Chains A and B, each alone.
Chain A
Amino acid sequence: MATQAAIELRNITKTFGHVVANKNVSLTVARGEILSILGENGSGKTTLMNMISGIYFPDEGEIFIDGKEAVITSPKDAFDYKIGMIHQHFKLVDVFSATENIVLGLNEAGKYNLEAAEDRVKTICERYGFEVEPKKKVYTMSVSEKQTVEIIKVLYRGADILILDEPTAVLTPQETQKLFAVLRRMRDDGKAIIIITHKLHEVLSLSDRVAVLRKGEYIGTVNTAETNEAELTEMMVGKKIELNIHRSEPKNTVPRLEVHHIDCTNREGVLVLDDVSFTANSGEILGIAGIAGSGQRELLEAIAGLQKLDSGAVLYNNPQTGNMDNLCSKTPLQIRELGVRLSFVPEDRLGMGLVGNMDIVDNMMLRSYTKGKGVFLERKPPKELAEHIIDELEVVTPGVNTPVRRLSGGNVQKVLVGREIAAAPTVFMAAYPVRGLDINSSYTIYNLLNQQKEQGVAVIFVGEDLDVLLELCDRILVIGSGRVNGIVDARTATKEEIGLLMTKTDGGKQNG
């Protein structure tokens, strides 16, 4: 058994239109082994795994399961081969309960019986040490609970080849450790496990072997014990690079934005911001860390005038007038009319920051279309701005009239950040600005944030990668369930410390 690969890919190629997502990829995984697939964002890891799990069908190449050729045309076929995938963006139906999601699509013999299924779910939970309430509705769950449901769903189907796509992106360091323990237990159970990631230390601490992809091409596989971070980085990026962020000391800081005791209730009546207070200083990067969905988005939107607040105040120290302006209950337009130069790069780039179907010029116009007299638009200044940004930030695009949805993730973000910086802000807020970006684009963004800081802008940076937060920011505000759980000095704090703060108030609930 040990010699035969549980799954083997031979010369897999997949293209989307003109984009080659995977080119001639070959790799193997044995039972009782954890294989990491390492690659930058956009290197084709997810596409490759989607072909094993039946979401896509390869254009060329073969897949072998236990030495025999397999044709996987749909997720159902994949289940038949005992392959289960845990997607990065959870595939769960929000209004269903945990158990309903788990048995979804199954064709078990006998009558449809949710109670019996719930018992089986409980058995699996006990075996691997999961804590999930079978009747709980998914839309009331935390991210780590949802992930647990996904894992149980795959185990329930009897999968013995497991694929996990970026499973740690949304977890705290403690939750990550817990997940890894589970994965190791499964490996010892004889399952073949593939984990997709771009975090090097996770690769090194968890996996037995590492396969590296770069721009859709297969670079090679190495044994984890025989490699190190530098070698893996080189394989992943293709050249030796220094992965350090230059952090300067804050200069001439003055309080620019003071948030006093703000509360915010969302449409479902849940308190999403609970008595939040902090100060953002000019010439400083304030990081915001927290489990996804802990109120980060609402916080930034509250400052930008997009959220109605129940109480509290957002005071802006206007450097031109020296006044303290209250931004509370003002619309974005009114805030701009006050002379407040506030830029905001939202998490949802194509759904909020930009309009995917519009070209770059029209997207530039989003911030400036009201300028100019009369009822007609002025397209000339935004066109110049678009050309300037394309030039300055090296945006790869066929032209200024290309719809932005056609651009790659990194270029979309450059267009958005470029536009927001062009407004010469005094406060610059960015939510997950490097999510989905390759390493080069990520570092471009970090550099831009640092430049803003050096020019005396108050930068607020919401991030998910704690390593980056610790390297880039001056102070880090840790948010949990809409509360400020602490503000730490990024130069002295540790990852574990922040991880504990993230789950401080309701630690019991967040365990998965």
Chain B
Amino acid sequence: MITAFISSAIPLGVPLLYGSTGEIVTEKSGHLNLGIPGIMYVGGIGGVIGAFLYELACGNDIANMNPALAILIPLLCSIGGAILMGLLYSFLTVTLRVNQNVTGLALTTFGIGLGNFFGGSLIKLVDSDMPSIVLTKTSSFFRASLPFADDLGWFGEIFLSHDFLTYLSIVVALVVSFVLNRTRVGLNLRAVGENPATADAAGIHVTRYKYVATCLGSAIAGLGGLQYVMAYANGVWSNDAFGDRGWMAIALVIFALWKPTMAIFGSFLFGALCNANNYINGLGDATQELFKMLPYVVTIIVLVITSMRKKREHQPPQGLGLPYFREER
């Protein structure tokens, strides 16, 4: 029971981890990207479209499908879609210096609209009875886990039974953490987010860093959407199913104090919270709905507690949310 609970919390936490790692990268460049929820949608639908087309090309027969391509095509489509959204966000906020909050919110509405539009169109295209599109074949490739995981009891179930995107999410978080803290690029990026004028005077190409960080962050976040559809949801896309995980991912960034390693811990904790209602016995339908409130309430509590601490190193990047214009007078 406990094993199953923990084991099922992990894949639920993965989209959050991708989302918050991506958001951390973006925020370190001084941009609060509230478009992440929309970008994760686009990442998800990108993967769906890629998988759909590839399945179609293979005549909907799993025997014709090449495992590498079956994974690579959705992966690239997902990342590509997310990066396009990231580019749009950077163009508006970095080049055109539009307010970041407004751009982000607009992009979220836009991204969710895109996701639902393409999702809905595909559903109509296959003429399915259910309001969803099913890509179990592709999903089976994504869900492939270590063959010996089942033989290792609870240890195997908790740590080894997951899809590769789950492990990748942890790797990505660790790599991001390493790059931020131990490399020259990371130092420069942090300087851009803290004080772009200083970074600029030090010869750092501020605009380039902001663009790259935002697009990279979007790409990482987009993978969260992909993992959700392909691994967690068994390749079933239904509109609005991804829900509000994107917002939670953004809140997690504050919880994690802008540290990807903390985000790993945080996202699995939140994964567990999202899942709690399914593992408490005897809840009625109505009470279930109340329990679904849990992650949001916990997020709020976390926000409040974090804001009460005042340590200098635990503050958001100083330039967060502010546009940079070199010739400001």
B326 in contact with A104 (CB, 8 Å): no
Interface of B is mostly: helix
Of A73-81, A425-433, A477-485, which binds chain B? A73-81
**A79–B318 CA distance with the chains assembled, in angstroms:** 26
Docked-complex contact A93 and B201, CB < 8 angstroms: no
Residues of chain A contacted by B182 (CB below 8 angstroms): 112
Looking at chain B, what size class is its interface with the partner chain? 20 to 34
Tell me whether A104 and B200 are in contact (CB under 8 A).
no
Determine if B187 and A100 form an interchain contact, defined as CB atoms under 8 angstroms apart: yes
Interface residues of B in 142-186 (CB under 8 A from A): 182-184
Q: Tell whether, in the assembled complex, residue B201 and residue A53 are in contact, meaning their CB atoms are under 8 Å apart.
A: yes
Residues of A contacting B326 in the complex (Cβ-Cβ under 8 angstroms): 55-56
Chain B residues lying within 8 Å of A112, measured Cβ to Cβ, are: 182-184, 187
- The stretch of B56-64, B189-197, B210-218, B220-228 that contacts the partner chain: B189-197
Q: Is B97 an interface residue (CB 8 A)?
A: no
Within the complex, which residue of B183, B195, B313, B327 is in contact with A93, where a contact is CB–CB below 8 Å? B195
> Is A161 an interface residue, CB under 8 A from the partner?
no
Closest B residue, CB atoms, query A269: B310
Inter-chain contacts of A105 with B (CB < 8 A):
188, 191, 199, 202-204
CB of A358 closer than 8 Å to a CB of B: no
User: Is B288 part of the binding interface, using a Cβ–Cβ cutoff of 8 Å?
Assistant: no
**B128 — which chain A residues lie within 8 A by C-beta?**
none
Contact B329 A103 (CB under 8 A): no
**Interface SS majority for chain A:** loop
Known A16-B327, A93-B194: A104·B202 in contact at CB below 8 Å: yes
Q: Are B198 and A91 in contact (CB under 8 A)?
A: yes
Contacts A105-B204, A106-B184 given; indicate if A92 touches B327 (C-beta within 8 A).
Answer: no
Say if the beta carbon of B312 comes within 8 Å of chain A.
yes
Cβ-defined contact, A79 with B187, below 8 A: no
* Structural contact, B202 and A16, CB atoms closer than 8 A: no
Number of A residues contacting the other chain (C-beta, 8 Å)?
A: 30
Chain A 85-105, CB-CB to B under 8 Å as 1, else 0, gives 101000111111000110111
Q: Are B329 and A91 in contact (CB under 8 A)?
A: no
Shortest distance from the beta carbon of A49 to any chain B beta carbon, whole Å: 12
A108 to B203, CA, bound (A): 13
Q: How many whole Å from B3's CB to the nearest CB in chain A?
A: 42
Question: Is B205 at the interface (CB under 8 A from chain A)?
Answer: yes
Smallest beta-carbon distance B166→chain A, Å:
30
Complex contacts, B188 vs chain A, CB 8 Å: 104-105
Give chain A residues whose Cβ lies under 8 Å from the Cβ of B190. 93, 96
* Bound CA span A112–B190, Å: 15
CB closest chain-B residue, reference A137: B312
Interface residues in chain A, defined as those with a beta carbon under 8 Å from any beta carbon in chain B? 16, 53, 55-56, 74-76, 78-79, 85, 87, 91-96, 100-101, 103-108, 112, 139, 153, 267-268
Residue pairs across A and B with Cβ atoms less than 8 A apart, 16 shown, are: A16-B329, A53-B201, A74-B200, A74-B205, A79-B203, A85-B201, A91-B201, A96-B187, A96-B191, A103-B184, A104-B198, A104-B202, A105-B199, A108-B184, A112-B184, A267-B310
- Which 7 residue pairs are nearest across A and B when measured between Cβ atoms? A105-B202, A76-B203, A91-B198, A105-B204, A91-B201, A105-B203, A104-B202
Binding site for A on B (CB under 8 A): 182-184, 187-188, 190-191, 194-195, 197-205, 310, 312-313, 318, 326-327, 329
Assuming A75-B201, A91-B195, A96-B187, what are 15 further A-B pairs, CB within 8 angstroms? A56-B326, A74-B200, A75-B200, A76-B205, A85-B201, A87-B201, A91-B202, A92-B195, A94-B312, A96-B190, A96-B194, A104-B188, A112-B183, A153-B202, A268-B310
